[in-house]
Homo-oligomer: A and B are copies of this chain.
Amino acid sequence: MTASRALRGAPDVSRENIDKVERAARETGYVGNPLATAFSNSKSNLIGVVVPSLNNIVFAEVMSGIAQGIDGSGLKPMFGVTDYDPVKEFELIKSLLSWNPAGLILTGLDQSEETRDLLSVAAVPVVQIMDTDGDALGAAIGFSHFQAGREMAQALIARGRRRFGYVGCGLANDLRAGRRLEGFKSALDAAGLALVAMRHDPEHSSTEAGRRITAEILHAHPDLDCIYYSNDDVALGGVFSCLAQGIAVGDALLLAGFNGLEMTRTLPVRIATTITPRRQIGFAAGRYLVEAKQGAPMRPNHKTVLPTVLSLP
């Protein structure tokens, strides 16, 4: 028992014994068994990370931020991919919970009723990342997608744009892209404007779809002076479509994406985008769970809104 106490830094162990134990541990190459610890106190140093997709660099960067945020804490991340399927998400969270994790990092605020029930029973620290539009279960760390869409529209209007098109992919699943669109439209509406044209593609977002749909929408509406995209991946397709057709991007036609991927800054033409703090979000989510593990008070329903930055040509 004294050894157990000494090794995990419990109070009330004599200096002398702490030294003895540490020396012995070093000499024998002792390493604790986290499985036994987790089993014994029904709380593991595992955390669950649930993302909708890994086909996009965005969630990889979030996970990279999480890894940084928990570095050195002894927490180990387990991950699962939902493919934007609420049923998969439920099953995933259920199986993650069976490991008695020290916390859960979920994407978005739109978990199903069933999932919310499961989590409220579990009494595990939960962080919902990326989004702050809606009711948070645990701590929410992210930003308002509605607001992001609105700000982009306002900025574009201020730059004199009037004839707006929208090109999106996978909106049925990607609810946050939907909210950006809502915000965008609300700002247009407030300015007495409306979308001139709008095209979706049911597939996952891709530059290929962006390129194709941009060609279509411009063919049908050659008088657009601005296109808003569901994200930068799709917007890059738009850029390539215009480059291939010799349409001057940024001048007669402004393109606007979302995320602020590094590539938007190295293109031969400039596009508008919203730079999102995705690495910071992951980092903050990781830190939150580290602090929760160390006994910090949890902040259910508390939203941390991190700033996004508009990048305009």
Contact = CB atoms under 8 A, between A and B. Distances in A.
Interface stretch (A1-9, A204-212, A300-308): A204-212
A134 interface: no
Interface in A235-269: 236-237, 240, 243-244, 262-263, 265-268
A208 B63 CA distance: 22
Interface stretch (A74-82, A146-154, A179-187): A74-82
A87 B208 CA distance: 40
A76 B78 CA distance: 7
B35 A262 contact: no
A195 interface: no
Contact of A78 (B38, B46, B206, B262): B46
A263 B207 contact: yes
A266 B243 contact: no
A55 B65 CA distance: 10
Contact of A32 (B64, B98, B243): B98
Nearest to A67: B81
B211 A240 contact: no
Contact of A240 (B80, B95, B207, B266): B266
Given A54-B63, A207-B262, A98 B31 contact: yes
Majority-rule SS of A interface residues? helix
A99 interface: yes
Interface of A: 31-36, 38-39, 42, 44, 46, 53-57, 59-61, 63-64, 67, 76-81, 94-96, 98-100, 206-208, 210-211, 236-237, 240, 243-244, 262-263, 265-268
Nearest to A244: B268
B76 A95 contact: yes
Contacts of A267: 240
B60 A100 contact: no
Which of A56, A79, A95: most chain B CB closer than 10 A?
Answer: A79
A54 B64 contact: yes
A79 B98 contact: no
Contacts of A67: 54, 79-81
A231 to B, nearest CB: 14
Contact of A96 (B35, B55, B76): B76
A236 B79 CA distance: 30
Given A54-B61, A61-B55, A262-B208, A77 B79 contact: yes
15 contacts: A32-B98, A33-B98, A35-B35, A35-B44, A35-B99, A57-B57, A60-B63, A76-B80, A76-B95, A76-B96, A206-B262, A207-B262, A208-B262, A240-B266, A243-B268
Contact of A38 (B31, B35, B76): B35
A34 B98 contact: yes
A149 B64 CA distance: 29
Nearest to A33: B98
Which of A44, A94, A211: most chain B CB closer than 10 A?
Answer: A211
